[in-house]
Amino acid sequence: MPSSQAKPLVSVIVIVYNDADRLPRAVASVLRQSLRGVEALIVDDCSTDDSFSVAQRLAAEYPGQVRALRLPENSGGCGGPRNLGMTEVRGEYVMFLDSDDELDDHACRNLYEAGERTGAELVSGLSVRRFVGNRNGKTDRWYPWIYSRTRTLDSVSELPDLLVWDTLSTNKAYRRSFLTRTGLQFPLGILYEDLLFSAQAYLAAERITLIPNRVYYWDQWPQAKDKGGASLSNRRHEIRNFTDRLEIHRRIDAMLADRDMAELKYRKDLKFLKHDLVLHLRDLPFLPEDFRQEFAGHARGYLAGLDPEAVAESPFIQRICAYLLTRDDWENLLPAIDTLLNRDKLSSPLVERDGRIFWCGEHLDDPEGRRVLEVTAHGYHSKALGQLFLRNQLTRYAVGPGGVELAGRVVNPLGRIAADAKISAKLEFTARRKTIKSKFAFPVREVRHDADGIVWSATADLTKALRPLGVLDDVWDVRCVFTVNGERTTTRLTVGDLDLAAPPTPAVRPRLTRLTGDRMEPHRSVRGHLAFELAAEGGLARRGTDLIERAVRGEAGPVANTAMDRARRTLRGALRLKRQLNNGDTKLKVYHQLLHRLPVVKGQVVFESHQGKQYSDNPRAIYEELLRRGAPMKAVWSYAGSAAGFPSGATLVKRWSWQYLRALAQAEFWVDNQGFPYRLRKRPETTYIQTWHGSALKKMGFDLASLKRQTPEQQALYLAGLNRFDHFVVRSEHDVRTLAPAYRIGEDRLLRAGYPRNDVLRDEGAAKDRQLAGELGIDLTKPVVLYAPTFRADASGRVRTFELPFDVEEFVERFGDRMTLLVRCHYLNRVVLPPSVAGKVIDVSDIQEVTPLYLMADALITDYSSLMFDYALLDRPMLFFAYDWEEYADDLRGTYFDLLGEAPGPVLRDAGELYEALGDLDLVGKEYTEARQRFVAEYGEYDRGDAAARIADLMFGAADGTEQEAGR
């Protein structure tokens, strides 16, 4: 079908303004379409370059496929030319294309097909942002979650995200009859015309179809630095930018109000807070005072009209910024914007009032301010200093004879860095891309308290001490690391409105050659932090870097290209080799082919608990027993993150390190409670004692659907991991009936020894750990109750965030004088307690070993955690706070038995019932004595207090010295 004669199926309106160079490229992407019946209609917005003559040339070259139009005078936006185009098109569908972008080759076919199939008036597909000239070919899919699948909407209210987020007009095909029917037009004389046009189109369309296909390439071109040619969306400092945005939003709000679309308005407001406001606020700290005032005036007016629910729903820092903005509190707002850009950062010193934590001390007499500014739940007060990311504001930047002179001020949250604390600090320069040496440190000369902050100053002689490699490591970040009483906390330097341009720029000497750059040019990163970029100032260096840049882009001469390519390849190759040597597959190969040939070291035992996360549980109890009896062992403990808390008497190896692999390869025994890495085979000379970590309520192993559905190969792989166990420790016949078949453990491998960690629970004389109680601030004269819930996962298996199912402040009010509550959440969860309950409710989640807590607790509250099986041995009151049992048990995973029927204590379904039971713990204790004994007999019959001894006997022979053959 020669499309020059027939009516086109799709017309693409290509708008151009002073872009003669790129116009043919855009038009070519239309002519390349796999759908043949496509025409391009070029509309020139009265360019001053030769865009229009290029357009006319294209029209002459492709008659019937390309037409060219021109506005009589420049319209100053995208709306004018597009409106003109819409009056002239002939196709059944209409699309828009900008002269610096491209359509995907199949864009028209896919959009047209979807429209014809569903009868939609508007069909929309995925936009992809391409960073032209980027070394790694970086691309960015635009709102992929909206375009994850083909779907048809009868109204945009079925998918508010579409209207709220995808405000582009270009990734869409509009049925021409739809444009005629509705008379849709782009607004003129205002920025953000796309926002309004797409909102109008979404609301007017009878049916909308979305397709996951890439249709539009939105190209980001490298900007020429000296031309000041920042694109529209980057020129946020123009106030009109903001007022126009607000005006467009107001018009859309009016349309939504007309249609009674409250849900859409709510979503749009939420997005305004999360996105639009952030875009404008982020530059506020660098702008002049009068602009700030004007900005605040406009913002106040618009913020007042937002849906209060959307405000309440938005992230806390957005809420705080919006509030401070309406209150004109610039003092507090400017640091808060730092947190807006760096979500994890704590940029305010905070205050504590009435047992709660607030962002700042102002506005707390205003009830709304109090509500908005409260940040107790974020747990800043209970997090370790090392886990906080504190704002460090640069107060001085200069280049002197000794190097770069820096000074700054760090937030001291709630005064947690005490006046007498030992503080030291250093500056670290780190290359963003790792090469041979990517980190250089400089001492910080002075650190001291100053009012509610810490001030510091330093001089870094970059010329002398910092040696970049060149080419690869061109960007360097700066961090300031503080050590407070031995605890490290890392900060970034926030530049603020400090002037970095002051010459001279510090000189450096790259290791490769100074051809790759000779200066370190400071700049402010996207998130507002100080960074340096290797730059060229001297003539030689400039020519050198130019050559490199061109080589990277493939433009330089052939000689330079080959030489540069070879240099880059060699460097990259060396770095890749280093990475490969340390990657998992190499390690596995070396482990199986080399390390397995080393001799087994007699008596070497590798211990691991919860994959190295802890020094705890059964492996620890066995280790301590062996230590106590002086067994001839060479103990090795594996740790995952930090070695802190692990025993100094053992060799400590980091999980997956070379030392770890070697220790495992040469071990006589492996002892763990969860599983050494599945891909590591065990040699036959090694005995693997799998102690496991708890009896099961929920289905496990091969009883899980996720394993049942696997292919035989996948199942065989899993089974091979399980077959490494030589002994599998069980504590009852319940384990034998559930865990053993679930993990395919045959009778010959079962070790009916009971759990070593529980030996102490069977010891009548075991006492409460007074030292631990002291450290935690627990008053042992009052009863102690341990609350230990398990975690919950959603349908896809993701761990849900934990929230206390009762109000701890109410608990303190009712029981605070009579008992202490210890809260221990599952290691996958975290809990934050308000300061108001300090000393009465205590978070003990960080205590690795749980047994001392059992001993300390006079009663236990749990839900479905397997620690119920252990605590029952103590024969103390147990309360089952099963507020969500149906949801928990009835989900897809399933349980081995009915907890409600078997629980050795009252099953409580809400906070009221819980409080009632807590009121008389003695009664609970008495009433359920028999039930507890039954429960222990059923689920813990082999926990007799000698488990560690029995396993130690098995490993190294009986304690009395008679040698026994180690169990195989």
Q: How far is the CB of 208 from other proteins (least distance, A)?
A: 17
Q: Does 213 bind other proteins (CB under 8 A)?
A: yes
Q: Does 705 bind other proteins (CB under 8 A)?
A: yes
Q: How far is the CB of 331 from other proteins (least distance, A)?
A: 48
C-alpha 352/C-alpha 408 separation (Å) is: 25
Q: Does 104 bind other proteins (CB under 8 A)?
A: yes
Q: How far is the CB of 275 from other proteins (least distance, A)?
A: 24
Residue 580 one-letter amino acid: Q
Rank residues 624 and 891 by Cβ distance to other proteins and give the closer one. 891
Where are the strands (E) in 466-517, listed by range? 475-484, 487-494
Q: Which position among 184, 700, 707, 719 is part of the footprint of other proteins (CB under 8 A)?
A: 707
Rank residues 215 and 952 by Cβ distance to other proteins and give the closer one. 215
Q: What is the DSSP letter of 276?
A: I
Q: Does 186 bind other proteins (CB under 8 A)?
A: no
Q: What's the gap between Cα 608 and its chain centre?
A: 28
Identify which of 323, 311, 313, 379 has the alpha carbon closest to the alpha carbon of residue 346: 379
Q: Which stretch binds other proteins (CB under 8 A): 103-111, 280-288, 411-419, 951-959?
A: 103-111
Q: Does 207 bind other proteins (CB under 8 A)?
A: no
Q: Between residue 117 and residue 176, which ones bind other proteins under the rule CB under 8 A?
A: 148-150
Q: Does 15 bind other proteins (CB under 8 A)?
A: no
Q: Which position among 561, 657, 710, 723 is part of the footprint of other proteins (CB under 8 A)?
A: 710
Q: Which stretch binds other proteins (CB under 8 A): 35-43, 192-200, 270-278, 447-455?
A: 35-43
- Structure-block tokens of residue 650: 């053992």
> How many residues interact with other proteins (rule CB under 8 A)?
31
Backbone angles phi, psi at 821, to 5 degrees: -105, 125
Q: How far is the CB of 329 from other proteins (least distance, A)?
A: 46
Rank residues 213 and 611 by Cβ distance to other proteins and give the closer one. 213
Token pair 């760090």: residue: 410
3-state class (DSSP) for residue 268: helix
Q: How far is the CB of 892 from other proteins (least distance, A)?
A: 6
The continuous run of DSSP H or E covering 245 comes out as helix 239-258
C-alpha 757/C-alpha 615 separation (Å) is: 12
Rank residues 212 and 835 by Cβ distance to other proteins and give the closer one. 212
Q: Does 110 bind other proteins (CB under 8 A)?
A: yes
The secondary structure of 849-877 as a DSSP string is: --HHHHHH-SEEEESS-THHHHHGGG---
Q: Across the strands, what pairs with 488?
A: 483
Q: Which position among 225, 422, 709, 968 is part of the footprint of other proteins (CB under 8 A)?
A: 709
Strands 859-862, 784-788: pairing kind: parallel
C-alpha 604/C-alpha 626 separation (Å) is: 12
3-state class (DSSP) for residue 783: coil
Q: How many residues does the chain have?
A: 968
Token pair 């960073």: residue: 131
Angle 181-183-184 (CA atoms, 0-180°, nearest 5)? 120
C-alpha 697/C-alpha 888 separation (Å) is: 11
314 within 8 A of 276, measured Cβ to Cβ: no
Backbone φ/ψ region at 76: left (φ over 0), alpha (ψ -120 to 50), beta: left
Rank residues 707 and 772 by Cβ distance to other proteins and give the closer one. 707
Angle 391-396-399 (CA atoms, 0-180°, nearest 5)? 130
Q: Which position among 597, 708, 798, 968 is part of the footprint of other proteins (CB under 8 A)?
A: 708
142 within 8 A of 168, measured Cβ to Cβ: yes
Q: Between residue 571 and residue 630, which ones bind other proteins under the rule CB under 8 A?
A: none
Q: How far is the CB of 935 from other proteins (least distance, A)?
A: 25
Q: Which stretch binds other proteins (CB under 8 A): 17-25, 354-362, 706-714, 774-782?
A: 706-714
How far, in Å, are 140, 263, 265, 326 from residue 272 at the CA level? 22, 14, 10, 15
Q: Which position among 52, 93, 96, 112 is part of the footprint of other proteins (CB under 8 A)?
A: 112
Q: How far is the CB of 708 from other proteins (least distance, A)?
A: 4
- Cβ partners under 8 Å of residue 525, min gap 6: 477, 531
Q: How far is the CB of 276 from other proteins (least distance, A)?
A: 28
- Structure-block tokens of residue 96: 């828009």
Q: How far is the CB of 385 from other proteins (least distance, A)?
A: 44
Q: Does 793 bind other proteins (CB under 8 A)?
A: no
Token pair 């396993």: residue: 951
Q: How far is the CB of 148 from other proteins (least distance, A)?
A: 7
Burial 710-733 (b: 16+ CB within 10 A, else e): eeeeeeeebeebbbbbbbbbbbbe
Q: Does 109 bind other proteins (CB under 8 A)?
A: yes
Where are the strands (E) in 330-474, listed by range? 345-346, 351-353, 356-358, 389-400, 403-411, 423-431, 439-450, 453-460
C-alpha 294/C-alpha 150 separation (Å) is: 45
- Structure-block tokens of residue 198: 């797409």
Q: Between residue 306 and residue 365, which ones bind other proteins under the rule CB under 8 A?
A: none
Q: How far is the CB of 153 from other proteins (least distance, A)?
A: 16
Rank residues 14 and 108 by Cβ distance to other proteins and give the closer one. 108
Rank residues 892 and 937 by Cβ distance to other proteins and give the closer one. 892
Q: How far is the CB of 443 from other proteins (least distance, A)?
A: 51
Q: Does 208 bind other proteins (CB under 8 A)?
A: no
Q: Which position among 212, 677, 925, 967 is part of the footprint of other proteins (CB under 8 A)?
A: 212
Rank residues 35 and 351 by Cβ distance to other proteins and give the closer one. 35
Q: How far is the CB of 10 from other proteins (least distance, A)?
A: 10
C-alpha 165/C-alpha 144 separation (Å) is: 11
879 within 8 A of 914, measured Cβ to Cβ: yes
Q: What is the DSSP letter of 698?
A: B
Rank residues 715 and 848 by Cβ distance to other proteins and give the closer one. 715
Q: Which stretch binds other proteins (CB under 8 A): 71-79, 110-118, 533-541, 620-628?
A: 110-118
Q: Which position among 20, 560, 704, 832 is part of the footprint of other proteins (CB under 8 A)?
A: 704
Q: How far is the CB of 5 from other proteins (least distance, A)?
A: 14
Rank residues 234 and 714 by Cβ distance to other proteins and give the closer one. 714
3-state class (DSSP) for residue 713: helix
Q: How far is the CB of 37 from other proteins (least distance, A)?
A: 6
C-alpha 166/C-alpha 208 separation (Å) is: 13
Identify which of 681, 679, 678, 646 has the alpha carbon closest to the alpha carbon of residue 667: 681
Rank residues 35 and 667 by Cβ distance to other proteins and give the closer one. 35
Q: How far is the CB of 893 from other proteins (least distance, A)?
A: 9
729 within 8 A of 736, measured Cβ to Cβ: no
Q: How far is the CB of 166 from other proteins (least distance, A)?
A: 17
Q: Which stretch binds other proteins (CB under 8 A): 60-68, 70-78, 209-217, 424-432?
A: 209-217
Rank residues 43 and 208 by Cβ distance to other proteins and give the closer one. 208
Backbone angles phi, psi at 718, to 5 degrees: -65, -45
Site string for other proteins, 660-699 (x = CB under 8 A): ----------------------------------------
Q: Does 106 bind other proteins (CB under 8 A)?
A: yes
- Structure-block tokens of residue 414: 């709630």
Q: Which stretch binds other proteins (CB under 8 A): 705-713, 746-754, 772-780, 856-864?
A: 705-713
Q: Between residue 890 and residue 909, which ones bind other proteins under the rule CB under 8 A?
A: 892, 894
- Structure-block tokens of residue 722: 């399980």
Q: Which residues bind other proteins (CB under 8 A)?
A: 1, 9, 34-37, 104-106, 109-110, 112-113, 148-150, 211-214, 704-712, 892, 894
